[in-house]
Structure 1
Amino acid sequence: MSRIKRLMAMCLIAGLSAAPALQADDTIRSEHAQKTLEIYRTIVEVDTSKRMGNTTKVATYLAGELVAAGFPPEDIEVPMTGEFASLVARYRGNGSTDKKPILFLGHMDVVEALADDWERPPFQLTEDGTNFYARGTIDNKFGVSQLTSTFIRLKKEGFVPDRDLYLVFSGDEESGMSTTRMLAYERPDLAEAEYALNSDAGGGVLDAEGNAVAYRIQAAEKTYATWEMTVRNPGGHSSRPRQDNAIYDLADAIKAVQAYQFPVQWSEMTLEYFQHTGEQLGGELGDAMVAFAYDPQDEAAAARLAQEPSYVGTTRTTCVVTMLQAGHAENALPQSATATVNCRIFPGVGVAAVEDTLREVVDNEAVELTMLADPTESPMSELRSDVVAAVGKAVHRRYPDVKLIAYMESGGTDGMHFRNAGIPTWAVSGVFMNPDEMFAHGLNERVPIKAFYDGLDHWSVIIRELTTP
């Protein structure tokens, strides 16, 4: 039995005797629920996308809430990195042990949202009886609000941990990660942490009928890398078309990228993830997961998983065109055309190798390929029994029989930089939802109202388990 399986089995057994969760009505009426919703609504309704900024506004608001709850002002910071704010809040321990601090991660910024494209206003928290809707409802203001309100709740209850705890919220995770790099590499106090728990990934998986399939602990993530593909041309008058055209040539390159699939890859962790998830999910998709887990060279199973946006990233490196820019006038031939290609690279695959593959796929020396920023390749964080047990206790209060599964994130989070800084990091969000209903970064982002209220005790259970002598 692998180490991951042993740890998961321990946590499952421990959770079977856990007390049932509070009834939803009691939870919704609680002071903690009202404060969490207040914080959630306030920060969701601030546009913290890169073009608007506003992370300073959110960070300052959260800082004020923490101070009002009894945290000393000197323990709350709003450091700036260029135009972006971060939040660092220290919850002082009693010094009864020599254990190092724990970091709790989240990010206050969001991806842009064009109001004209949304069915609902993207920066107003609305609901329909089933879901909360707005940009950031799941990514990641769900985690930020739940963590902040948990710190407030514990402080008001007089809880004193046996070590220091830190809220560490970045301000540009969705763009340059300059605040993340500062927090991970330039803060000696945070560098002393024993490990970090991230609210920006992980969490429970529900099937289409709302049944709990698994709880995922994010222990690794793919490398995030972006290139620009550019074609240049002398251009000319639109009434005199040329055989070579920057837009047409770029379109050929884009279609080549679209048609190419990177080879299937796997690790012990991803195979265990597909085995457990597939067994619970069942049906055609579940059968494909199980088949892939037993034989990752099963081409039919891999092809079936490649059809699923929620799972294809766990099976291979992916590259996709996300932005276009071309031409300068409607009556002129384009002098340049550029496409942005975002890649999520399977751990162990070098960034340079992916660039070489893109060049081969495009097969046109006239297409310039320029990397944007410096990619970060991060290691896997091996699971540890105390963290798995604490998370399991929180999860099993809601779903006593659900299995905890380590997995690799197909996207990228702040966790990559903290792992590279030598701080083991696991993402353990309190949300349970159908991944196909998430729409993070997309239109009409949402989170189930039930998931919001059911997750209110998630972080307090974990913190008490890990920091009570």
Structure 2
Amino acid sequence: MRRGSAPGTGSLDLGPSLTHLRAVRRATREARRLLVATGMLGCFATAANAVELDWRKLGDETAELLANVLRIDTTNPPGGEIAAANALARKLTAEGIAAEVIESAPGRGSLYARLPGRGGARPVILLSHLDVVPADARSWRVPPFAGAREGGFVYGRGALDCKGIGAVDLMAMIAIKRSGEPLDRDLILLATADEETGGKAGAGWLVQHRPDVVGNAEYCINEGDHIHQLPSGRKVVQLGIGEKTPCWVKLVAHGEAGHGSTPPAMTAVTRLVRALNKIRRYRTPVRVVRPVEAYFAALARFEKEPLASRLAHLGTALDDPIFLAEFARNPRQNALIRNTITPTVLEGSPKTNVIPAEASAHLDCRLLPGEKPAEFLDQLRDVIGDDSISIETLLSFPASSSDPDSGLTAAIRHMAGRELGGAPVVPSVTPGFTDSHYFREHGVESYGFVPFILAEDEEKTVHGTNERVSVENLRGGVRRLVTVLRALPSGHQQ
């Protein structure tokens, strides 16, 4: 019957009988009991109270929040992240979301907030970090800690890694709060200290000393990979399910100290330079691990022959030295097929005319999944071939990975179908490392997924000059992240 029509009601007795009313009440009580038991009552109640979100306004708020946090210099070392954590906490408090700033050491602050859901499933964590790597202002077009907005971009150290991600995470939480429609699960927000130097004063400290902030979380969404825009304009959602293992080491060479005007045949510095030159000439073996093989096989569909066939069978194709040389010219591709060794920090004499008794170099080594650090260090000693040079391990932990076919990956595929025209979701290995390993060790399935669409020129600004993120990415990032969170399976679907 159409709304408003009531044919023939003039001759009817519309007063219900007492028996009928009792039956209706019993049915209503039973229906309510079933809805509570299945967790569906909240769906109907919140759907009725849901508020339509203004994504453009949310994006502008995100850009403003990010610019403010970029103006807080959290270069690590020393970090000093507590000021940034407090700034984010104030934003949450203004929205009626309780936030806690947790200090692992004086000035080393991490932000923790929890938005309650309906309790139908285990919580999901949105993870970012507040510390940043150093920036040399002389090579930037704008000051790296000014939070400048130009040409539709927000510039600053940390715009992509990782304050921009933290701002999107926070605004996604606020968006869900404003919508009046809670998730089926609690939403946990963590913006931590110290990720750039290993996380021991940040995520590592929280997992050990405040395990309540992690609780029984099922999933964690962290930095690590993103939506890659190919030169053709096609998009590929790169989902980080694993990471290379860091093996940071320090080489120390010794020699006779003296005056620079009368050098001996071999000094600590020349001994170290000789070792570094051997490392420079050394080519680590090529090894294609399964997630990397699957990643390039998925990308093959976007390429023309003969490249398509080579990517589809990468392990075999790399046996061709010509193709290997061409493939490895791309630094990211090269890092995905072999262990890498990068000299970064050099230390010697503090004065030009003094020959030091000791010289050292830090090596940033990244190992493929499955590699054993002890065996790698044995290989490194063989390459150097000088027993007088000591090798000290600065940072190392086991490789970790997550299920490529979980409920979270299904939610990301749903988002890609809805927001990105069905772009493929491709599991990948991240060349760098993140705090995800702390949460995987705690039993939380953790993934590298940044909801930004980035072309190669934007990707290169991470840890580089003129780091920036577009306001459009901030706006779209909040929307895409909320879509993923709402697509997570509910408790009765698992």
Normalising by structure 2, what TM-score? 0.83
Q: Which residue of 2 aligns with 1:170?
A: 192
1:431 aligns with 2:452: yes
Deviation at 1:269, TM superposition (A): 1.5
Distance 1:196 1:349 in 2: 26
Letter in 2 for 1:276: A
Distance 1:29 1:456 in 2: 8
1:45 and 1:125 in contact (8 A); partners too: yes
Deviation at 1:153, TM superposition (A): 1.4
2:419 and 2:480 in contact (8 A); partners too: no
Deviation at 1:262, TM superposition (A): 1.4
1:183 aligns with 2:183: no
Deviation at 1:147, TM superposition (A): 0.6
Q: Which residue of 2 aligns with 1:42?
A: 68
What are the equivalent positions in structure 2 for 1:80-95 lying under 5 Å apart? 80-83=103-106, 84-95=108-119
Deviation at 1:281, TM superposition (A): 4.8
Distance 2:457 2:444 in 1: 31
Please say which of residues 184-193 and 140-149 is displaced more in the overlay.
Answer: 184-193
Deviation at 1:152, TM superposition (A): 1.0
SS at match of 1:46: coil
Letter in 2 for 1:380: S
Deviation at 1:379, TM superposition (A): 2.4
> Deviating runs (4+, > 6 A) in structure 1?
283-287
Distance 1:380 1:142 in 2: 24
Deviation at 1:38, TM superposition (A): 1.4
Please say which of residues 225-234 and 129-138 is displaced more in the overlay.
Answer: 129-138
Distance 1:356 1:313 in 2: 21
Distance 2:114 2:306 in 1: 48
Deviation at 1:149, TM superposition (A): 0.7
Letter in 2 for 1:407: S
Letter in 2 for 1:54: G
Distance 2:111 2:464 in 1: 26
Distance 1:359 1:120 in 2: 43
1:79 aligns with 2:105: no
Please say which of residues 135-144 and 161-170 is displaced more in the overlay.
Answer: 161-170
- Give aligned-pair identity as a percent: 26
1:243 aligns with 2:269: no
Distance 1:296 1:149 in 2: 44
What are the equivalent positions in structure 2 for 1:120-139 lying under 5 Å apart? 120-129=142-151, 131-139=153-161
1:107 and 1:172 in contact (8 A); partners too: yes
What is the root-mean-square deviation of aligned Cα atoms in Å?
2.3
Distance 2:149 2:315 in 1: 39
Deviation at 1:121, TM superposition (A): 1.1
1:105 and 1:169 in contact (8 A); partners too: yes
Residues 37/127 of structure 1: CA separation in 2 closer, same or farther (3 Å cut): closer
What are the equivalent positions in structure 2 for 1:153-302 lying under 5 Å apart? 153-178=175-200, 179-208=202-231, 211-282=233-304, 289-292=311-314, 295-302=317-324
Distance 1:443 1:288 in 2: 34
Unaligned runs of 5+ in 2: 1-52
Please say which of residues 128-137 and 99-108 is displaced more in the overlay.
Answer: 128-137
Distance 1:330 1:94 in 2: 66
Distance 1:39 1:136 in 2: 13
Deviation at 1:267, TM superposition (A): 2.4
Distance 1:305 1:56 in 2: 43
Residues 456/194 of structure 1: CA separation in 2 closer, same or farther (3 Å cut): closer
Deviation at 1:286, TM superposition (A): 6.2
| Alignment partner of 1:68 out of 77, 90, 94 | 94
| Alignment partner of 1:410 out of 411, 431, 448 | 431
Per-residue displacement from partner, 1:178-233 (whole Å, max 9, x unpaired)? Answer: 11112233333244334333331221111235x13411110000111211111111
SS at match of 1:167: strand
Distance 1:266 1:139 in 2: 27
Distance 2:490 2:95 in 1: 21
Residues 302/163 of structure 1: CA separation in 2 closer, same or farther (3 Å cut): same
Distance 2:305 2:356 in 1: 49
SS at match of 1:42: helix
1:341 aligns with 2:367: no
Letter in 2 for 1:357: Q
SS at match of 1:270: helix
Per-residue displacement from partner, 1:275-325 (whole Å, max 9, x unpaired)? Answer: 122432558876753452554544433332221112211111111101111
Distance 2:156 2:259 in 1: 45
Q: Which residue of 2 aligns with 1:16?
A: none
Q: Which residue of 1 aligns with 2:79?
A: 53
SS at match of 1:143: helix
Alignment length (residue pairs) = 437
With CA pairs under 8 Å and 6+ residues apart, which has the higher RCO, 1 or 2?
Answer: 1
Residues 28/51 of structure 1: CA separation in 2 closer, same or farther (3 Å cut): farther
1:31 aligns with 2:34: no
Residues 385/227 of structure 1: CA separation in 2 closer, same or farther (3 Å cut): closer
Normalising by structure 1, what TM-score? 0.87
1:380 aligns with 2:401: yes
Residues 336/432 of structure 1: CA separation in 2 closer, same or farther (3 Å cut): same
1:214 and 1:403 in contact (8 A); partners too: yes
Q: Which residue of 2 aligns with 1:368?
A: 390
Q: Which residue of 1 aligns with 2:137?
A: 115
1:415 and 1:425 in contact (8 A); partners too: yes
Q: Which residue of 2 aligns with 1:330?
A: 352
